Structure 1
Amino acid sequence: MSKRKFLTLEERVDVIKKLNKGLSVRKVADELNCEKTQISNIKADRSQILSQWESGARSTGKCVKRRKTTYDGLNDELFEWFSRARSKNIPVNGPLLQERALVRSMELGFDDFTASNGWLQSWQRRYNVNFAMRSGEASGVPLEAVDDWIKRLPEITKDYALEDIFNADETGLYFRALPQRSMIVKGDSRKGIRTAKDRITVLLACSGTGEKLTPLVIGRAENPRCFKALKKSSLPVTYRWNRKAWMTAVLFKEWLEKLNTKMKSKGRNILLMVDNCSAHCHVQLSNIKLKFLPPNTTSKLQPCDAGVISIFKSHYRKRLLRHILSAMDEANTASELAKSVSLLHAIKWLDLAWTSVRGSSIKKCFSTADLLNPLLTLTQRKSKIMETSFRPCWKMPLGMTLSTWTRTCP
């Protein structure tokens, strides 16, 4: 019985030549003692395979003989998988390719293979693959407002232990979004894809000692189809809904009152810092003191914006990528692949992601926002905020650069 076997780039080009001469897929598969689906995939990816083959000879006018390595077969198979994904217009970024490489290497018994960044860069050079870039822009922060907050911070926090100082913030999560950047073969067209617009809002809250509250998730439907025969009370999050899946004053007040009841039952009084968006209404509560951050300063003064949300999204993204890997071969289009992710999937993954955020990472983010050092002088505090604004306060996943990590967040 034929089985899947490694075919080098040169062998795949030879397959294309045989097919062009009129040989059937079955005939070629029989000659090479491999599966028909493997030959069919090569036939479907012929333009990219030939483009990659030609680009390797373009600079010298002849084929470049590449140095053989232990992982040649794995590398070729990954390029075949990558080409198949791109033929379906499914974006493939570095972390996704690395995850696929790790899974396949374990199946092949390569126990010492790590899919490092160095390997990824070498693989990209070998197959003339690069990233299709997207640019972004940063917004300014009013430093006078930052300075004023720093001056008032000791007075604001003096009556609260660090374990009773909380920060809460919402983040939009496009829970079906495929990677925003994709690797492409050099010279290949950069086909656009329609980004999945299915968004939920997630409210995260944590304390200076790393305590994490149950996430609040806001969706668009009261009873999504994936919740059929499921009690919402059994979900690992608090689920609410409205037509736009946004935080509203009504939902925020409800969340605050339930949190106040919880703190009252424990005999705790907490300080809760939030930004001053319109949904964050002023509420007088017995066991929660609300403090609103100055406008447009959250990137420097709010712990959740100082890395907590980024870490959370990184963990969520990792689980989404694993699902993409498992479903990619069955999907015919990027749209079909995105639709395989349900809201219930997203809720389970974001719960696991929130659980995976370490208390030590949260404490570092509180330190970045200067909430761990109330005795520092004003000059020290200002210097510390400016310094930490230009470096990450969290530990990135192994084998991932900062630029790659931040671009994979939805």
Structure 2
Amino acid sequence: MNAPGDSAKKRRKQFSLQEKMDLLRELDSGKKQIDLCRERGIAPSTVATIWKDRENILKLHRESQLAPTRKRLHLGNFQDVDQAVLTWFKDARLQNIPVSGPMLQEKAREFADALEVTGFDASAGWLFRFRQRNGITWQVVSGEEKAADKEGADSWRNDRFREVAESYSEDDIFNADETACFYQLLPDRTMHFKGQQCKRGKKSHLRVTVLLCCNASGTKKIKPLVIGKYAKPRCMKNVVSLPFDYCANKRAWMTRELFSQWLIKLDEQMRKENRKILLIVDNCSAHIVNVRFTHVCLEFLPPNNTSLLQPLDQGIIKSVKAEFRKHLVQRFIINLRLKQPTSVNVRQAAEMLTGAWWNVNTSTIRNCWRKAGLIKAPAQVEDNLEEDHSNPGDLWTEVEELLPDVSSFDDYVESGSAALTSADMTTEEIVNSVRNVSSDDDDDPKEEDSVSPNTEEDETISHSDVLVHMNEVRAYIGRCSDVPDEVLRKVEGVEAYLISRLCSTRQKKITDFFK
């Protein structure tokens, strides 16, 4: 005779969104369904159902539309309103702004009106379900915490950072930050820009925003992202290979959309390298993204403590800018001597910035992470941050002779350092992001940079010109004394690449090579 419970129907186990993602990852790794069922003690039909709903599960996880612990994958009847409110909520919490239930309800009504949604009622029932779907709990934000400075930074280092960084090596802990660069700012104009935020207006078109990212060990630097004002600058026409990534919007600022795109690319890069990283960023509005990643874990610095905790702000960015300004001064002096225009275009500036970024040495990076208190550098690594900052030496003396009222080189390096690189999202921008409408489209795709008259960016370069100019470079270097072996090897490498490239180009006749 069967026991009373034996005939009862066995209750089906419910899986959370995160558990379903874990199952899908195991299946993607090649594990057989039958083995997975045996290990987990679940029915084959359950695994088959999860696999069938794969695309929906991946979308919900990637776009952070539900809390990872959520078991019912229902988004509610007003998805656009929910997404807008959730975006605003994340922004407010990262800025340490206290948020209450009535505030969420009021914001929901505001977004419903902006989105032209009818029949929506921000009732107590909606609020309860919204909080449940997104795993929102109420927490008290004290005034002391908001005003915390050094004490708050120490607390974050010792508690939160230690907890999240425990499972990562220094090779896999990264920091990313933006900085503004006024690439046509010459020494004679420094005083007009020093300490100004340059929110918008006439000076904005002279700038770019650069996103830099590196790890704590100093062994990995990510290709810089340069954000300009023009989507298709003339100086980049027909150019398909650049040492930096480039994008644009009207203000040349970082936006949530651009940061999301950069993160997606970084996540894919880490997936190919088979590594999972912890990425530390500040809590500006542009960094709040509604996307989850498989190989990048975002960790936000606490409000009001960024200047103490951000490794890139401890000297890495200054080192890059000093190197860039040095090269700009060198170009300035040479062009003055040759009676050539002294301005540079956005491509030339971005290439110099990229070169300066690759030249930042490992010890500088590690020292800055140590200064932020996020790693313990070896005792033999000296605090030589100031020494690492490039100085043009005699060239700056020549600048001072040419421009008697010029400021110091340090002031030149720091010029524009207070410029904004992003802005808080407005209601209109949040609504546009929900509707997938870009508010940063460029009306004018052309670049207004001044370009040297002897450099025609649109001119076709023939094969023979390439070899002739390469021979001229080699001849010039051969007449220079004390050329480092590293430079000679690089010249050999460039020439070998060009010859290999030219040989692989198909020609109808051998004489075509010289046309």
Alignment TM-score, normalising by the size of structure 2 = 0.43
Unaligned runs of 5+ in 1: 1-139, 184-193, 375-387
Aligned letter for 1:395? D
Match of 1:144 in 2: 151
Match of 1:366 in 2: 369
Partner-residue secondary structure (3-state), 1:258: helix
Give the counterpart of 1:320 among 324, 328, 348: 328
Structure 1 pair 267–394 and aligned structure 2 pair: CA distance change class (3 A): farther
Match of 2:389 in 1: 396
Aligned letter for 2:183? F
Structure 1 pair 353–141 and aligned structure 2 pair: CA distance change class (3 A): farther
* Shift in Å, 1:298: 1.9
* Shift in Å, 1:228: 2.1
Could you report, residue by residue, the CA deviation over 1:288-332 in whole angstroms, capped at 9, with x for unpaired residues? 110000123222111100011000001100110011101225669
Structure 2 contact 152–305 (Cα < 8 Å) conserved: yes
Structure 1 Cα separation of the partners of residues 148 and 327 of structure 2:
33
Alignment of structure 1 residues 221-240 onto 2, 5 Å: 221-231=230-240, 234-240=241-247
Structure 1 pair 394–155 and aligned structure 2 pair: CA distance change class (3 A): farther
Alignment of structure 1 residues 162-177 onto 2, 5 Å: 162-177=170-185
Structure 1 contact 215–237 (Cα < 8 Å) conserved: yes
* Shift in Å, 1:274: 0.2
Match of 2:169 in 1: 161
Partner-residue secondary structure (3-state), 1:176: coil
Match of 2:216 in 1: 208
Could you report, residue by residue, the CA deviation over 1:313-369 in whole angstroms, capped at 9, with x for unpaired residues? 01100110011101225669xxx64xx211111011111111111111111111111
Residue 396 of structure 2 corresponds to residue 354 of structure 1: no
* Shift in Å, 1:149: 1.0
Match of 2:304 in 1: 296
Aligned letter for 2:371? T
Match of 1:106 in 2: none
Structure 1 contact 307–394 (Cα < 8 Å) conserved: no
Larger gyration radius, structure 1 or structure 2:
2
Alignment of structure 1 residues 2-401 onto 2, 5 Å: 142-152=149-159, 153-179=161-187, 198-210=206-218, 211-231=220-240, 234-282=241-289, 283-329=291-337, 337=342, 340-373=343-376, 392=385, 395-397=388-390
Structure 1 pair 355–181 and aligned structure 2 pair: CA distance change class (3 A): same
Match of 1:407 in 2: 411
Structure 1 contact 165–272 (Cα < 8 Å) conserved: yes
* Shift in Å, 1:230: 1.7
Structure 1 pair 198–151 and aligned structure 2 pair: CA distance change class (3 A): same
Structure 2 contact 204–251 (Cα < 8 Å) conserved: no
Structure 2 contact 230–249 (Cα < 8 Å) conserved: yes
Structure 1 contact 208–372 (Cα < 8 Å) conserved: yes
Structure 1 contact 167–273 (Cα < 8 Å) conserved: yes
Structure 1 pair 406–295 and aligned structure 2 pair: CA distance change class (3 A): farther
Structure 2 Cα separation of the partners of residues 163 and 175 of structure 1:
32
Structure 1 pair 405–357 and aligned structure 2 pair: CA distance change class (3 A): farther
Structure 1 Cα separation of the partners of residues 293 and 190 of structure 2:
48
Partner-residue secondary structure (3-state), 2:226: strand
Partner-residue secondary structure (3-state), 1:200: strand
Structure 2 Cα separation of the partners of residues 354 and 305 of structure 1:
14
Structure 1 pair 363–322 and aligned structure 2 pair: CA distance change class (3 A): same
Match of 1:382 in 2: none
Structure 1 contact 181–407 (Cα < 8 Å) conserved: no
Structure 1 pair 195–325 and aligned structure 2 pair: CA distance change class (3 A): farther
Runs of at least 4 residues off by over 4 Å: 180-183, 194-197, 329-332, 391-394
Structure 1 contact 306–393 (Cα < 8 Å) conserved: no
Unaligned runs of 5+ in 2: 1-146, 192-201, 378-382, 394-406, 416-515
Could you report, residue by residue, the CA deviation over 1:67-124 in whole angstroms, capped at 9, with x for unpaired residues? xxxxxxxxxxxxxxxxxxxxxxxxxxxxxxxxxxxxxxxxxxxxxxxxxxxxxxxxxx
Structure 2 Cα separation of the partners of residues 182 and 215 of structure 1:
25
Aligned letter for 2:236? F
Structure 1 pair 373–330 and aligned structure 2 pair: CA distance change class (3 A): closer
* Shift in Å, 1:394: 5.8
* Shift in Å, 1:396: 3.1
Structure 1 contact 202–218 (Cα < 8 Å) conserved: yes
Partner-residue secondary structure (3-state), 1:149: helix
* Shift in Å, 1:244: 0.8
Count of residue pairs the alignment pairs up: 239
Aligned letter for 2:372? A
Structure 1 Cα separation of the partners of residues 361 and 410 of structure 2:
18
Partner-residue secondary structure (3-state), 2:321: helix
Structure 1 pair 395–357 and aligned structure 2 pair: CA distance change class (3 A): same
Structure 1 contact 169–275 (Cα < 8 Å) conserved: yes
Partner-residue secondary structure (3-state), 1:279: helix
Structure 2 Cα separation of the partners of residues 352 and 270 of structure 1:
25
Partner-residue secondary structure (3-state), 2:213: strand
Structure 2 Cα separation of the partners of residues 292 and 309 of structure 1:
19
Structure 2 contact 281–300 (Cα < 8 Å) conserved: yes
Structure 2 contact 150–308 (Cα < 8 Å) conserved: no
Aligned letter for 2:267? N
Structure 2 Cα separation of the partners of residues 161 and 182 of structure 1:
41
* Shift in Å, 1:373: 2.7
Partner-residue secondary structure (3-state), 2:212: strand
Percent sequence identity is: 39
Structure 1 pair 197–394 and aligned structure 2 pair: CA distance change class (3 A): farther
Partner-residue secondary structure (3-state), 1:271: strand
RMSD: 3.0
